[in-house]
Structures are given as C-alpha cells and as structure tokens.
Amino acid sequence: MDRFSAVRTFLRVVETGSFTKAADSLDMPRNMVTKQIQALEGHLRTKLFNRTTRRVSVTSEGEAYYQRMTRVLEDWDEAEAELAATQNRPRGRLRADLPSALATQLVIPALPTFFSRYPDLQLELGVSDRPTDMIGDRVDCILRAGKISDQSLVVRQIGELPFVLCASKDYLSRYGTPKRPDDLSNGHVVVRYFFAGTGRRLTFTLRKGSDEVTAQARDMVAVNDANALLAAGVAGLGIVRIPALVAQPYLDAGKLIPILRDWSMETVAVSVVFAPNRHLSARMRVFVDWLIEIFNAHPQAKRSSRRVV
C-alpha cells in the first residue's frame, strides 16, 4: 500500500463527504478509492468511516486521524513548495478567504495572470463577508477590509479603499438628489451594510474641511454582503455607501449616479491576515506579493505606505 496516496485519498473523502466525489476530484476509479481506504483501515486496525447505502460519515477515530494527518500533509506540501521555490516554481494548494466584492471585482478577474506565472499552484478561495475561523477552517490567509479586532493575528496592510455615495437614476427621480448630508435624513432612504456576527451597521459619516456630519437616514433594507449592497443600489432600493472600485463600472454605465461628491468619507484599510504561528510558505509569499501588485495597479485600491508584519 502506498500510505502517502492512501492518506491523501482519505483526506479527500472526508472533505467531499463521498467516495464518488473524492474519486472524481482525484481522477481515479471509485473502486481504487475504496481499496485505498480499506487498506488504510487495515493498516491502522480501526474503522475510519461509517458507510451506508446513502451516506458516508467519518468516525470519531477517523476525525482525530484527519486532524493530525491534515497538518502532516500540509507540512509535507510546504516542504516541497519551499524546494520548488528555489527553482522559481512554487507549487501546492493555498486556502484563502476573501470578501465577496474584492473577490468578484478585483481578485478573481486578475487570476489568469497569477496562474500564468505560477501554473503549479492551486487556490481554494472562500468568498464571503462573514468572519472566518482561520485555525478551525484551516485557512492560510485572509484578505479583509476594515479594522482587524483580533490582536493575536499577524496583519499586513496592503491597500486602502475609498468609498462613494451613489444611487440609481430611478431612485433619484423618485426621491430627488440630496445637496447636503443633512438632506439624507429628510425623506431619503439608504441601504445599510451590517457586519455578520456582530450585526453592527455602518454609518453615513461625511466630511468637508472641518465639517463632519453623520446622516440619520432611514433604511428599508440592510445586507451583510457587498455584492448584495451593490445589487440593492442598482435596483433603486436606496442610497448606498460602497467602495469606489466596486461602484465604478456601474457609474461608467450610468446604472449608478454619484451624489454629494464634494463631501468625503473615511477610507478603509485592506489587509492580509495570517495566524501568528503560521509559516509564511513560498506559495503564500507569491500570492501576497501578487495581491499587493494588483492593488497597486488599481486606481481605486491604492496601497498604503503603512506596513504591519
């Protein structure tokens, strides 16, 4: 039995929850997956899975073995990646978690350039605005906008996002165009963004010179996803406060109209976050360097000169 191959197969069955799906992802016959699991169970003298005709579930012994062997295989991959890096060919699998808007508007569209440079790398991208358990979810790095509250994590700020206030033509035709921030509290409707987990809502605070105004506008819809916020604005559900890089294509197409342009809003920092005990592997280094590069290249995702490592 090739124990290394058998362990990889075991991990994939646990992750997919299916012998068939594991076989498909590994590009091997299903009966080979079954044979490898049976051989591994025989070697370990323990049952790793409970099997029925409808489902496969991992046993408590299998779960403990999965947790240990995941770390072993990650260290193995990392060691190989470090050696490959000496030949400028980093390889292996990287797990990253990204906010939905940055993923769909900035990172994913640029991925062809990343893979043209690093064809031996594989990315698993978790796309969500929800908080991530970096250790529990076995995530290598997280890209996040805003303040990182967990001071135990290592934070590297790579950019800043300017924000714009905008609304659809349909909304402005129905409610009128506000001239001052105070107008937002007089008959206007906003779509608010709230943070998953805490429920905290973003305020509409605007500045001009020494003046600072926090508008007390009403909302009919609140969302916890930036892409949903964009969709609500385009649908005319209210005025939205949204990153300029997300809004720009819709501003260019006339689907959104900027308002209160002589007032500004505070920019939001964008950072890459690592676990404090996480080794910065070659594949993670090239991924982070590439993220910095695409932020530098985007006119509305400027990189801050501040660096925290």
CATH code, 115: 3.40.190.10
- For residues 53-66, give the mean pLDDT: 85
Amino acid residing at 248: Q
Identify the domain boundary among 82, 111, 140: 82
Residues 152 and 289 in one domain: yes
Q: Would the pLDDT of 238 be above 60?
A: yes
Residues 22 and 67 in one domain: yes
Q: Structural domain of residue 179, as residue ranges?
A: 163-258
| Residue whose structure tokens are 């240990």 | 68
Identify the domain boundary among 51, 82, 113: 82
pLDDT: which is higher, 265 or 80: 265
Q: What is the pLDDT of residues 19-28, one digit of tens each?
A: 888 888 888 8
Residues 167 and 218 in one domain: yes
Residues of the chain by 3-state class (helix, strand, coil), percent to 5:
40, 25, 35
Q: Would the pLDDT of 209 be above 70?
A: yes
Give the chain's mean pLDDT.
Answer: 84
Q: What is the pLDDT of residue 305?
A: 37
Q: Which of 160-169, 178-187, 188-197, 271-280 has the lowest mean pLDDT?
A: 271-280
Cα–Cα distance for residue pair 126/23, rounded to 1 Å: 23
Strand, coil or helix: 159: strand
- For residues 60-82, give the mean pLDDT: 80
Q: What is the pLDDT of residue 253?
A: 94
Cα–Cα distance for residue pair 244/53, rounded to 1 Å: 52
Residues 48 and 102 in one domain: no
Report the percentage of the chain scoring pLDDT > 70.
91
The phi, psi pair for 123, rounded to 5°, reads -115, 135
Q: Looking at the whole model, is its pTM more than 0.75? A: no
DSSP E strands in 46-104: the ranges are 49-51, 56-58, 92-98
Cα–Cα distance for residue pair 110/303, rounded to 1 Å: 17
Question: For the chain, how many structural domains are there in total?
Answer: 3
Token pair listed for 111: 């991925």
CA torsion, points 239, 244, 249, 250, in degrees to nearest 10? 0
